[in-house]
């Protein structure tokens, strides 16, 4: 693959990224390019560095970048704080969404939405306006408005938590969404709802990175590019067929 | 024996005047006995194990005018004889000078409207309200107890609650005295067969404040929730001591206390759950979680389980710490600036207790009070 920073649809360019946690290098020269309108799947066995990539892109403070570059819309993503990245349009759906007791889903989402609007010069919404907006967005993942009043993720089932992540994505309309093992722990019905939600949000202006261990999710969300991650590097790239090949042969080849 | 101070002489005069207007029956004798006890013991000192972390010397050396004193004819409510006035100097002084009132919820009555108890003292005044609340069998009621004292006042209150067979009492206690005020309060609760008592104790005010709460099961099948929140800043000091007494079998208790401490404030939590020898089938849970928002804030927490029976289910735990890093990161990844994210988490931490409150009027007021304690621009967290 030729690295080329001039493409006008280029959303994310990761160049020779080395990163790790607690002094241990996990990503060992990872490169990746995502254009607007594309869905990329990053597949790999446990310990290959999938989650590290997600966390580094989102700006988790425990992870350390050793060398390499990450350009987002041509700008250095790594020098932005996690909240700045989010307001610039980067979103990560968590593998294990965090419970926030005492803070209602709608309150949390309105604050997040309005912070983004402040940043982008859009119109902030008052609680009533936001409630209407949220109801509309909740249809994306078929979510009952009862969940708006409940504390963020508190007492939610695994499937409800993942749907809530996609609801947040729908509300914040990111330009780059990283879905970290969104399929883990979901039964087939929940997986279908979540995947349909992502498909509805997929458009020509955003890029989506699906980080997953299993091919199963890719039956529902068809990727443009599949990357195989092993030992901290992309070792193979291909079209959607590559995922099927992996399913058959496993990661040992 | 402590030396008689000018203040004790002043209180003695107030007591004599009270007894003079109220008549000289059994109640007068009880008041005199309590006052003798106060004279003997004085206010508690940090040498007492129970008062190790709470120094009330400031109260002891201040002069207050005893106000609002009222007797109740010559009648002695039998419940007063059950009151443990020898708990400490405060409770003895309370009974000696008590402004006594009693409310009875008749059997099988459901009273939707909360029964309000409000007490407040003005600057330099000492007020000693003493309430007796009897919930007769099968009744359902809600107590809303609010303290809003001014300046350097001193409230020394007592509330006795007797929950009868199958009765249900919900109790909200809100202490939002001024930040200069002194406050001591005791809640003594006894639960009859299958009685339920659900308490939420909120402390926001006071320079030095302490709340003692005892809940005692006297018959099987009782259940209680004893929850609370103390949210302190500046140099406020608050101490909660609770005792859940599983004296009989097959009762259930739940206790969640939370503290949010900023600046140089100090919190004390001492929660004892006592499971007596005969109390098989006890289910008791207790937790105390504290959030320290400043390096100078401090909390001393001591959850205690004393179990004298094997056939029980008990758990307890305490934490003292800062905001959870993973929770903070989650909020940041949604675009909330760090300061707002921290405030939202702090708000949520406190709100998890406030959400229990079923009365909209008081809940909205407390939401507001919590928000005002946070370091955010007015309005940004409002729903």
CATH code of the domain containing A150: 3.40.50.300
Residue with tokens 């399929």: A183
Residue with tokens 């700045």: A84
Give residue B378's pLDDT: 44
**Chain A contact present for B383, CB below 8 A:** yes
pLDDT digits (tens, 9 = 90+) for A89-119: 999 999 999 999 889 999 999 999 999 999 9
Q: Is residue A65 assigned to a domain? A: no
Q: Is residue A32 assigned to a domain? A: no
Q: In chain A, what residues touch B338 (CB-CB under 8 Å)?
A: 81, 83
Q: In chain B, what residues touch A106 (CB-CB under 8 Å)?
A: 383
The residue in chain A having the minimum alpha-carbon distance to the alpha carbon of residue B343 is: A103
How many CB contacts within 8 angstroms connect chain A with chain B?
87
Give residue A134's pLDDT: 95
Q: Is residue A135 assigned to a domain? A: yes
Give residue B375's pLDDT: 67
Q: In chain A, what residues touch B329 (CB-CB under 8 Å)?
A: 60-61, 82, 98
Residue A133, pLDDT > 60, answer: yes
Give residue A45's pLDDT: 86
Residue of A60, A89, A103 best to disrupt the B interface, most CBs of B under 10 A: A103
Neighbours of A221 (CB within 10 A): 22
Q: In chain B, what residues touch A180 (CB-CB under 8 Å)?
A: none
Contact assignment for A100 to B329 by CB distance below 8 Å: no
Q: Is residue A48 assigned to a domain? A: yes
Q: In chain B, what residues touch A87 (CB-CB under 8 Å)?
A: 335
C-beta of residue B154 within 8 angstroms of C-beta of residue B127? yes
The token pair that represents B233 in the structure block: 């800043």
Residue B380, pLDDT > 90, answer: no
The token pair that represents B47 in the structure block: 């040498």
More confidently predicted of B61 and A130: A130
Give residue A199's pLDDT: 93
**Chain A contact present for B344, CB below 8 A:** yes
Q: Is residue A54 assigned to a domain? A: yes
Contact assignment for A102 to B341 by CB distance below 8 Å: no
Q: Is residue A167 assigned to a domain? A: yes
Contact assignment for B344 to A108 by CB distance below 8 Å: yes
* Closest CB to B345 among A58, A87, A100: A100
Domain holding A217, by residue range, is: 38-59+88-249
Separation CA B239–CA B241 (nearest Å): 7
Residue with tokens 């901290």: A232
**Chain A contact present for B327, CB below 8 A:** yes
Total tally of structural domains belonging to chain A? 1
The residue in chain A having the minimum alpha-carbon distance to the alpha carbon of residue B349 is: A102
Give residue A252's pLDDT: 66
pLDDT digits (tens, 9 = 90+) for A174-193: 999 999 999 888 888 889 99
pLDDT digits (tens, 9 = 90+) for B79-110: 999 999 999 999 999 999 888 899 999 999 99
Separation CA B51–CA B40 (nearest Å): 17
Confidence of residue B141 (pLDDT cuts 50, 70, 90): very high
CB-based burial of residue B220 (10 Å sphere; 0-12 exposed, 13-18 middle, 19+ buried)?
Answer: middle
| Cα separations in angstroms, A92 against A192, A208, B116 | 19, 10, 49
Q: What is the pTM of this model?
A: 0.85
pLDDT digits (tens, 9 = 90+) for A43-69: 988 889 999 999 999 999 999 999 999
Q: In chain A, what residues touch B341 (CB-CB under 8 Å)?
A: 83
Q: Is residue A1 assigned to a domain? A: no
Q: Is residue A76 assigned to a domain? A: no
C-beta of residue A163 within 8 angstroms of C-beta of residue A116? no
């Amino acid at each position: 693959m030729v690295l080329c920073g001039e493409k006008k649809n280029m959303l994310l360019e990761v160049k020779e990224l080395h990163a790790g946690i607690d002094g241990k290098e996990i990503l060992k020269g990872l490169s990746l390019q995502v254009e607007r309108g594309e869905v990329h799947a990053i597949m790999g066995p446990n310990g290959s560095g999938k989650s590290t990539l997600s966390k580094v892109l989102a700006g988790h403070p425990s992870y350390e970048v050793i060398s390499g570059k990450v350009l987002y819309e041509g700008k250095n993503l790594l020098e932005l704080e996690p909240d700045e990245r989010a307001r610039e349009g980067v979103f990560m759906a968590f593998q294990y969404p965090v419970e926030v007791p005492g803070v209602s889903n709608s309150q949390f989402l309105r604050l997040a939405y309005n912070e983004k609007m402040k940043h982008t010069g859009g119109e902030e919404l008052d609680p009533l306006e936001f409630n209407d907006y949220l109801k509309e967005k909740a249809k994306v993942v078929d979510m009952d408005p009862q969940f708006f009043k409940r504390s963020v993720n508190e007492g939610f089932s695994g499937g409800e938590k993942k749907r809530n992540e996609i609801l947040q994505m729908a509300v914040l309309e990111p330009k780059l969404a990283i879905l970290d093992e969104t399929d883990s722990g979901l039964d087939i019905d929940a997986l279908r709802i979540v995947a349909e939600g992502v498909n509805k949000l997929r458009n020509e202006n955003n890029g989506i990175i699906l980080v997953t261990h299993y091919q199963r999710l890719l039956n529902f969300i068809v990727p443009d590019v599949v990357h195989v991650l092993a030992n901290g590097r992309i070792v193979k790239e291909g079209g959607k067929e590559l995922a099927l090949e992996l399913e058959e042969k496993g990661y040992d080849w | 024996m402590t030396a008689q101070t000018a203040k004790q002489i002043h209180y003695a005069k107030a007591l004599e005047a009270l007894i003079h207007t109220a008549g000289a029956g059994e109640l007068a004798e009880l008041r005199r006995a309590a006052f003798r006890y106060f004279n003997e013991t004085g206010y508690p000192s940090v040498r007492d194990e129970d008062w190790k972390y709470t120094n009330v010397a400031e109260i002891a050396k201040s002069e207050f005018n005893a106000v609002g004193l009222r007797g109740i004819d010559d009648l002695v409510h039998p419940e007063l004889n059950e009151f443990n006035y020898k708990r400490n100097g405060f409770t003895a002084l309370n009974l000696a000078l008590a402004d006594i009132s009693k409310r009875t919820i008749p059997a099988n009555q459901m009273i939707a409207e909360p029964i309000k108890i409000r007490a407040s003292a003005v600057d330099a005044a000492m007020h000693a309200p003493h309430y007796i609340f009897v919930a007769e069998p099968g009744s359902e009621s809600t107590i809303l107890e609010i303290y809003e004292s001014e300046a350097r006042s001193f409230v020394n209150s007592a509330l006795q609650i007797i929950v009868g067979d199958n009765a249900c009492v919900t109790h909200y206690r809100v202490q939002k005295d001024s930040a200069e005020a002194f406050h001591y309060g005791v809640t003594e609760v006894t639960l009859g067969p299958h009685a339920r008592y659900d308490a939420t104790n909120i402390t926001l005010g006071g320079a030095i404040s302490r709340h003692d709460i005892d809940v005692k099961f006297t018959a099987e099948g009782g259940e209680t929730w004893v929850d609370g929140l103390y949210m302190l800043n500046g140099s406020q000091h608050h101490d909660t001591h609770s005792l859940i007494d599983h004296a009989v079998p097959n009762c259930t208790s739940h206790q969640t206390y939370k503290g949010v401490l900023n600046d140089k404030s100090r919190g004390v939590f001492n929660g004892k759950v006592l499971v007596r020898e005969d109390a098989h089938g006890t289910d008791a849970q207790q937790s105390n979680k504290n959030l320290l928002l400043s390096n100078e804030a401090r909390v001393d927490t001591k959850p205690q389980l004393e179990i004298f029976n094997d056939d029980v289910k008990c758990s307890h735990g305490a934490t003292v710490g800062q905001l959870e890093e993973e929770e903070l990161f989650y909020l940041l990844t949604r675009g909330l600036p760090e300061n707002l994210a921290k405030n939202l988490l702090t708000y949520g931490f406190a709100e998890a207790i406030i959400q229990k409150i079923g009365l909209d009027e008081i809940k909205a007021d407390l939401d507001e009070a919590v928000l005002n304690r946070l370091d955010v621009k007015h309005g940004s967290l409002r729903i």
